[in-house]
Amino acid sequence: MTKLVVGIIGAGRIGQLHAKNILLSDNYQLKAISDVYTDHLKDIDYLKAVPVITQNADDILNDPEIDAVFICSSTDTHIDFITKAAKNNKHIFCEKPISFDIEKTKETLEVIKETGVKFQVGFNRRFDTHFRKAHDVVRNGDIGTPQVIKITSRDPEAPPEEYVKRSGGLFIDMAIHDFDMIRYLSGQDVKNITVKASSLIDDRFSRNDDVDTAIITLTFADDSLGVIDNSRQAVYGYDQRIEVFGNNGMVQVENQKPTNVKVSTNAAVTEDKPMYFFLERYNEGYIAEIHDFAQSILEDKPIVAKFEDGLQAELLAKAAKLSWQENRTVELSELR
């Protein structure tokens, strides 16, 4: 096999992004895209190279020529598509979260194990050059033993209320990336989690039993600590920073900006604000994650963002929501 023949299920913003990157890759042949609505795809020039555009996902799942599927549909459809794809011996790339139901996620993990297909979760931040370098610095022991990990993750603009209603909430929709990243950096599972959260931007969140601002503290298996701070609205741009503090030093990743130019005058010192949109900030990560997925199949390499990583991030999201709702520290053993 020199190229991976794939289909994409779900052609919203992320599905279209993956389609574009797949078409530009030497590792893939994109045979088909399915979505419940396809009219919006007719005028996208680069999709004219895709042989099959269909409203029926089974056209992809039952196609013997397709080696792997990208599942980019709404979260409530993931489990069904994952199960069908695995039973049809197709490797799977699935956007996060795997599902909104922990028990269904656990059951589906057993299907993946039974069928032996490869499965990658769309935790694209693991593939960002800067975050991956920080991870490698920690793994190499350059800063000694990690003692405190801090993640700042703030969106530039609050989403519309229709999105809030179906998102599953801040912890499973937004912070799930941070839960995965903090595990990726620490290399350990979390023992317990404590959350303080509020709705401070406006009442579109509180109306939907959600929050827009959160401080999340975590204790790891070795008693080291983690802190995540989230906000749905940082008016200055997409705020994405990490810091790992160890007994022999510290590694930090600052915000990425359109340029690194700094202008100093007697009036002010000015520089660019952070990149505004996640598709800009993590563009390289989106490209790298699908390259890695292809290599894991074509060259039988290990998956970097495994099903188990998706499950652990979901468990943390569930524990975080429970901590907020019940105003207490939640032990992960309660959920595992």
pLDDT digits (tens, 9 = 90+) for 286-336: 999 999 999 999 999 999 999 999 999 999 999 999 999 999 999 999 997
Predicted confidence at residue 155, as pLDDT, reads 97
Other CB atoms within 10 A of residue 67 CB? 22
Q: Which two tokens stand for residue 223?
A: 């008693």
**Beta-strand pair 28-34/146-154:** unpaired
Q: What is the pLDDT of residues 120-150, one digit of tens each?
A: 999 999 999 999 999 999 999 999 999 999 9
Which residues lie below 8 Å from residue 253, measured CB to CB, with a gap of 6+?
A: 130, 131, 133, 134, 240, 241, 242, 243
Which residues lie below 8 Å from residue 72, measured CB to CB, with a gap of 6+?
A: 8, 9, 10, 11, 12, 14, 15, 18, 95
d(CA 199, CA 213): 6
Predicted confidence at residue 42, as pLDDT, reads 87
Global pTM value: 0.95
Q: What is the pLDDT of residues 251-296, one digit of tens each?
A: 999 999 999 999 999 999 999 999 998 999 999 999 999 999 999 9
Note whether 162 and 288 are within 8 A (CB).
no
> Where residue 233 falls among pLDDT bands split at 50, 70, 90?
very high
Predicted confidence at residue 6, as pLDDT, reads 98
